[in-house]
Amino acid sequence: MLKGLSCMKASDRSCRPRAILPALFAILAVLLSSCTVVKIGEQPAGGSSAGEADVASYARDTWERVVSYVNEHAHDLPDVMETLLADSEKAVETYGVRNASAGSAWNFIIKGQGKITAVHTESRAGTAEIDVPPYDGEPDAALQIGPVFKGTSIRDSLDFVNFDQFKNQIDFAKLAAAYNTLVLENVIDAKGTEWFQSGKEIRFVGVFTENGRDILITPVELDETGGGA
């Protein structure tokens, strides 16, 4: 029954343990594989960042899903803006999303087209201001173009992620940072800084968090439009 046992002599004591070893290792492997990781990015206590690598890979692994999700749930920016201006409670009811608990800010997943009116890189938290049709030359919103990104809009708008899945705030925060890094890599750097020019007409999909002051969009997708309607 024990295949692989090359020693046939029962009296050969030195032989048996060696032959058993592969089987033992196999059993050990099975047992170890039953150890489950309970939380995403589990890490030692005290707030160290040993779980960072786990969280970063989780972000990477879920990025495609994030982009699909945002595209799927995006409302037209002009509609959202109009409702927000008229009745912010209604805007929240109709368009607002959040995975955080009561009292936290609402997020809006949007898509739209617009013309870049200005590009700001004096601050490392760079932005491209956009005028949304009907064009009046005045910027209506701004896109974050990095390298530093403010806020946690993307993470906070997802319905498949929440604080409860993470061991502590640090891990949960690192997820937001990881998503922002992926925006920088996959969305901004993919275009290159030269791509952001005043006058360019673009299409965008992203998320902004209500802050009572301005609309600051973190994009998950950017394209140049041909200059059509």
Name the site residues for other proteins (rule: CB under 8 A).
Answer: 10-11, 13-14, 16-17, 20-21, 24, 27-28, 31-32, 34-36, 38, 45-49, 100-105, 123-125, 147-148, 150, 152, 162-164, 167-170, 172-173, 177
Identify which of residues 53 and 68 has a Cβ nearer to other proteins in the complex. 53
CA distance 53 to 73: 29
Length of the chain: 229
Identify which of residues 82 and 214 has a Cβ nearer to other proteins in the complex. 214
CA distance 90 to 96: 9
CB of 120 to other proteins, least distance (A): 13
CB of 24 to other proteins, least distance (A): 6
CA distance 224 to 202: 4
Neighbours of 25 (CB within 10 A): 10
Phi/psi region, residue 46 (left: phi>0; alpha: psi -120 to 50; beta: rest), is left
Identify which of residues 35 and 229 has a Cβ nearer to other proteins in the complex. 35
User: Of 113, 116, 140, 112, which is closest to residue 197 (Cα–Cα)?
Assistant: 116
CB of 153 to other proteins, least distance (A): 12
Identify which of residues 71 and 104 has a Cβ nearer to other proteins in the complex. 104
Identify which of residues 3 and 72 has a Cβ nearer to other proteins in the complex. 3
CB of 103 to other proteins, least distance (A): 5
CB of 190 to other proteins, least distance (A): 20
Which residues face 146 on adjacent strands? 126
By the 8 A CB rule, do 202 and 116 touch? yes
